[in-house]
Amino acid sequence: METKQATFAAGCFWGVEAAFAKIPGVLSTTVGYTGGQPANPTYRQVCTGRTDHAEAVLVTYDRAVVSFAELLDAFWSCHDPTTVDRQGPDIGSQYRSAIFFHDVEQERIARASLKEVEDSGVFRRKIVTQIVAAAPFYPAEDYHQQYFVKQGLSQSCHVGVVTVQTRLARTAELSRPAAAASTAVAPSAACGTSHWKQLSDAQLRKRLTPEQYAVARQAGTERAFSGRYWNEHRNGVYRCAICGQPLFSSEAKFDSGTGWPSYWKAIDPAAVAERSDDSHGMKRVEAVCSRCESHLGHVFDDGPDSTGKRYCINSAVLDLAVEG
């Protein structure tokens, strides 16, 4: 066995890891952060977009079974390499498209692969993928590793707009001994536009508690001071309990005195969608998860001076990933 390592960034590392983990010859995958400062960043720091780290996947593979060129085919196929600092609903430099080469051979193959894909015209827009030397790689928190496996979510990539199969990879495959040939696979291009695969109503009822279902799918509201996070003070990232999308940071949480978790901003403007809500004879603004469209709560204009907003959210539809 001749093991090698490769590092790729192609959007949220959950889906990127899932794409590479299923390739024969890939021995292990680790999600983490690379390409920025400081050392050993936390997820919360990277989410600010100010550290210049990319969410990346470190792939350890057996070169006798799968080549770097074939891994590149999987890389091109599991995301849209033409969008700058964005994959699907995820926006920020941490979601950039990048190949971090570990040696001169990987750099040569990466540049040749990019040129072949660019010349083929398979992508309608210009490829913006960075090809840069591998920097220190910092493994992400444990709850991010093999996230889809742990959560039982659909293993799909962000925006697999095409399936790329280069001549470069085909040549590498044919050069292997017959026993090891034709084993690499590229992710399907028909995987959709998000990690989250919409579940049926029956599936949601089975997966969620009655309270979670009532809040998320029927726009219910938990009783004040009854939720698990209204008086929560630990540091971390609050995710949608339905689809896992990051919604709020503990840095934006404040005590509103209402008995519900309150935040003065979302972790990303694109994470929480706002809709007009005229139910119950009132005019309000509903807050929903932009990925799975679950009801979260409401947005009011009586928050702190920094934004003036108060996101009044139900604990039932939140999961806190604690840091530190």
Q: Which residues are catalytic?
A: 12, 312
The four Cα atoms 255, 261, 265, 269 give a dihedral, to 10 degrees, of 180
Residues 95/12, Cβ–Cβ less than 8 Å:
yes
Angle (deg, nearest 10), helices 104-120 and 68-77: 40
User: What is the H or E stretch that residue 310 is in?
Assistant: strand 310-313
Q: Is 262 helix (H, G, I), strand (E, B) or coil?
A: strand
Identify the CA nearest to 6 among candidates 78, 77, 62: 62
CB 292 within 8 A of CB 197: no
- Judged by DSSP in three states, 47 sits in helix
Count CA atoms within 13 Å of residue 167 on its CB side: 7
Distance of alpha carbon 86 from alpha carbon 176, whole angstroms:
36
